[in-house]
Amino acid sequence: MRPDQGVVMTSANDVDVVVAGAGFSGLYLVHRLREAGFSFRVLESGGDVGGTWYWNRYPGARCDIPTTDYTYSWDPELDREWTWSEKYATQPEILSYAQHVAKKHDMYPHITFNTRVKDAQWDDSTRKWTVRTETGEAITCRHYVMATGCLSVPKDPDIPGTENFAGGVYVTGRWPHEGVDFTGRRVAVIGTGSSGIQSIPLIAEQASQVTVFQRTPNFSVPAFNGPVSEDRKAPLLADRDAYRESAKWTRGGVPLPPSEVSALAVTPEQRREMFEAGWKRGELFSILGIFMDQSTNREANDLVSEMIREKIRATVKDPVTAELLCPKTYPFGTKRPCLDTNYFDTYNKPHVRLVDLNTSPIRTITSDGVTFGDETVQFDDIVYATGFDAMTGAIVSVDITGRNGTTLKKKWEHGPLQYLGLMSTEFPNFFMITGPGSPSVLSNMMVSIEQHVDWVTDTLVHMRDNGLDMIEPTDTAEAGWVRHGAEFADISLMKDTNSWYMGANVPGKPRVMLPYLGGVDGYRRACNEVVERGYLGFSMTGPGGKVCNDGVIRSVQPDVFIVLDMMSQMGLPPMESMTPEGAREFSNASGAMRPPGPEVGEMVDGTLPGADGSPLEYRLYRPATKGPHPVVVYFHGGGWVIGSHVSDEPMVRDLCVRSGAMFVSVNYRHAPEARFPAAAEDGYAALTWVNDHITELGGIPGKIAVAGWSAGGNVAAVAAQLARDNNGPALCGQLLLTPVTDGTKEYPSLSLNGEGYILTKSLMDWFWDNYADRKDRSHPKASPLKAASLAGLPPTTVVTAQFDPLRDEGNAYAEALREAGVKVTHIQAGGHIHTSISMVGVILSGEKHREKMAESIRGFFA
Ligand code: NA7
């Protein structure tokens, strides 16, 4: 009930759905559930609708997404009947928008206010939840939805002596409804996140003295707030539906073309110009997306971060204060950046002081002030702007007990285990709106809220239509999604920063990336695909039967997925449909567009004699370190048909730099012009020549190994066998990356991974057909796995990729070598494809495997 109505409108104690929370998620749920004909109750701890906008009433509280985008799309009339007074609306205006929607759609009667959910318990026998409130109600329901927001539980101020203070104590997230007058008062503000940054300038307008206690400076950009600009309104007015639809398919939920420019690929002048243009827009997504690589490449990020620091230095007059306000310990965007109005300028006021808690930590809060460093200062009021137990706090603050007495708090002890951020195993019929594992706080919340509410309601309708009354994710699907989220975090710059995204702001909270980094668009696709594939990864049961289509929705590495997706959209012709010459041209052209790989000390081109005496080109990559160096003779990939001594250059450079070894990358004769055994014999001839000339090339005699990728891995493996059988050269090791080892057998991976992962089964067949007759394929020079014995081969590192058609023959070679007593290191690259580990500067998730390969090389020569 609404406080001013005084009548209990809702009292049913057995409903289809209970919803906790009447913020924007809860309100949209009212709309959808009512429309779908479900019975439901909404329980809200606050005295009115609005959620975060009901509680966060501190001075200056505003949203940081342009308000025209931070609105519902489900009621088109709202766009016409509601006019926002500013680009970034204030909390009271956003709250009145929520109230307007609730009144217009007659939602109030469905909501029970001032009622906090205390616990929720699943009963397997009735297949229902019992939800208990702090006001003593017990409501049974088929489905329980937590729509409790991501930043709704303020974190405990973990500061000694907080209980001693006798003056005014204010927490930004629980601000008094009547407001606070700071006129003439001495105020301490602790915390410089969004809440601190938004409120400090306004507090400083009233107070006689303001002291800001800063633990970590934040990146903040001016909002340039004011009336909504015409260019913001125009696309909405021109074609509202198209605009709203496009928002759903962007990374952040606000239409904005993604940048295609690398910060490293432009001149300093161009970079500055692009930065200034982004700066002027005063929008988080603009400044976060000026350059395509600023969120993944530290060097690119540093360039942007420095330009922001220059802005701070140009604003704050006292250079010491300016430096303290400059964030330097983490990359821009890895903590939530802020939008401000006059924040940095406020420090130019004589009555505003900044205290750096890193050098002057708070020792204790006393009854009338704060003791920090070696001083004590008296205050009338303390404002805690210390943030929230984000994303999981509100969910686990309710005692939720699922099947077999499992509590969600216990299950999530080491991080939130969930599927799509929507559900969690052992908690049937329990849904979260914008939970951890979904884009939520990294996106325009309105877009994400609507998508989640739609997904949940559509699922409930689907279940009802099909006689199903219980839904739960499978263990496989949940583990897969959690792994996918972690893999995204692994390739982002965010994982090393102590942010609330990582749970790092709350002492004792597990350090896990909480939101999903794949974007609103990527996430929506995954959710849609789950449904299209028969609710993949969910088990649903009921009188209508049991449906369970188990599986993992995203199993390749996230960056591999993005590359595969881009390639499938390009609709490239299969290479095997080309002539060998055409295939070579095609591969050279795509190779020319790659990032070049890191700088090495020196590159030297030359020729050496092949097996038939004709010259073979090579390129030598020398590390920048002082020589002589150990030497790796390297053979390129390309199915014996395409490629050259320079075609794998980015990876060779990368391995050269990482391992400190010199690489001699050798061309060998190609098929079909020179068929089997030309490549194999050229490989061995090149190895012998390099070994014979090792000193003059700058290598260390006796320190030689072979390496190769794909068909080059085959050439390297054969060269190692020939070296063993022909008394030399004595090798220190062999590194085989996704090698071809056996052309005689159809291993399962050849069909399992035979399509959709760049190297296809039919392309592999084409390579073999060009290279060797069937009868020759069992010869160990073509299929090294077929050698009579593998004993006596040097220490070997085999790298296999999970989604490679050649995976199983690589595995078989590693196993056979091990059985023959060879020292084997087997790197199994989960989520990778045949080509991904070599894609330096494109597939970031390949980096850790190349690092392990380099470590192996160093081990060969140790
Ligand atoms: P934030 O962004 O979590 O900011 C909290 C601030 O409080 C931040 O500067 C913290 O420093 C600081 N803090 C937290 N605990 C302490 C202690 N114990 N001592 C000193 N300083 C402390 O929360 P906000 O409410 O400002 O913003 C939350 C989101 O709401 C915002 O991102 C928008 O999305 C809307 P730290 O950085 O942890 O060192």
Q: Which helix (H) or strand (E) holds 340?
A: strand 338-340
Q: What's the rounded Cα separation, in Å, for the pair 173 and 165?
A: 19
Q: How far is the centre of ligand 1, averaged over its atoms, from the C-alpha of 157 (Å)?
A: 10
Q: Where residue 571 falls among pLDDT bands split at 50, 70, 90?
A: confident
User: What distances in angstroms separate CA 133 from CA 34, 112, 138, 686, one per listed residue?
Assistant: 22, 11, 7, 78
Gap from CA of 154 to ligand 1 centroid (Å) = 10
Q: Evaluate whether 408 touches 396 at the Cβ level (below 8 Å).
A: yes
Q: What is the pLDDT of residues 124-170, one digit of tens each?
A: 999 999 999 999 999 999 999 999 999 999 998 889 999 999 999 99
Q: Which tens digits make up the pLDDT trace of 407-425?
A: 999 999 999 999 999 999 9
CA distance 209 to 223: 25
- Using CA atoms, how far apart are residues 441 and 36, in angstroms rounded to an integer? 28
Check residue 208 and give its pLDDT: 98
Determine the residue of 152, 195, 448 to mutate for testing ligand 1's pocket, defined as the one with the most ligand atoms within 8 A of the Cβ atom: 195
For residue 549, CA distances in Å to 423, 470, 473, 542, 834 come to 16, 15, 10, 15, 28
Answer yes or no: is pLDDT of 709 > 80: yes
Q: Measure 205 CA to ligand 1 centroid, in angstroms.
A: 22
The type of residue at 566 is M
Nearest CA to ligand 1 atom 36: 216
| Surface-to-core class of residue 453, CB atoms within 10 Å of its CB (0-12 exposed, 13-18 middle, 19+ buried) | buried
Count of CA atoms in the C-beta half-sphere (13 A) of 416: 29
Question: Which residues fall within 8 angstroms of residue 572, CB to CB, at 6 or more apart?
Answer: none
Q: Which residue, chain included where needed, has tokens 């001693």?
A: 164
Helix, coil or strand: residue 341: coil
Using DSSP, state whether 459 is helix, strand or coil. helix
pLDDT of residue 232: 86
CA of 109 to the centre of ligand 1 (A): 36
pLDDT of residue 10: 62
CA of 385 to the centre of ligand 1 (A): 6
Return d(Cα 57, Cα 55) in angstroms, integer: 6
Nearest C-alpha to atom 38 of ligand 1 is from which residue? 505
How far is Cα 203 from Cα 341, in angstroms, rounded to an integer?
A: 13
Please name the residue that has the structure tokens 């709704």.
152
Q: Is the pLDDT of residue 3 over 50?
A: no
Q: What is the 152 CA–ligand 1 centroid distance (Å)?
A: 13
**Is pLDDT above 70 for 6?**
no
* Predicted local distance difference test score (pLDDT) of residue 4: 37
pLDDT the model gives residue 9: 46
- Please give the DSSP secondary-structure letter assigned to residue 548: E
Q: What's the 639 CA to ligand 1 centre distance in angstroms?
A: 55
Q: How many Cα atoms within 13 Å fall on the side-chain side of residue 441?
A: 25
pLDDT (0 to 100) of residue 5 = 39
Pocket, ligand 1, Cβ cutoff 6 A: 151, 158-159, 172, 190-196, 213, 215-216, 336, 357, 385-388, 500, 505
If phi over 0 gives left and psi between -120 and 50 gives alpha, with beta otherwise, what is residue 60?
Answer: left
Q: Check pLDDT > 70 for residue 1.
A: no
Helices (H) and strands (E) in the chain, counts: 27, 29
- For residue 113, report the distance from its CA to the centre of ligand 1, in Å: 29
Residue 8 has pLDDT above 70, yes or no: no
Q: How far apart are CA 428 and CA 431, in angstroms?
A: 9
Determine the residue of 159, 175, 194 to mutate for testing ligand 1's pocket, defined as the one with the most ligand atoms within 8 A of the Cβ atom.
194
Residue 631 β-bridge partners: 662, 704
pTM value is 0.94
**CA–CA separation, 60 and 189 (whole Å):** 14
Interval 237-284: pLDDT, tens = 899 999 999 999 999 999 998 899 999 999 999 999 999 999 999 999
- For range 827-851, the mean pLDDT: 97
Nearest CA to ligand 1 atom 25: 387
Position 561 pLDDT exceeds 90: yes
Are 244 and 447 a contacting pair, CB within 8 Å?
Answer: no
| DSSP result, 273-314 | HHHHHHHHHT-HHHHHTSSTTTTT-HHHHHHHHHHHHHHHHH
Percent of the chain residues past pLDDT 90, beyond the cut: 95
Q: Which of 155, 382, 386, 500 to mutate to test the pocket of ligand 1 (most atoms within 8 A of CB)?
A: 386
pLDDT (mean) for 296-306: 96
Checking if the pLDDT of 551 tops 50, the result is yes
Residue 841 has pLDDT above 50, yes or no: yes
Tokens 């004769």, residue located: 669
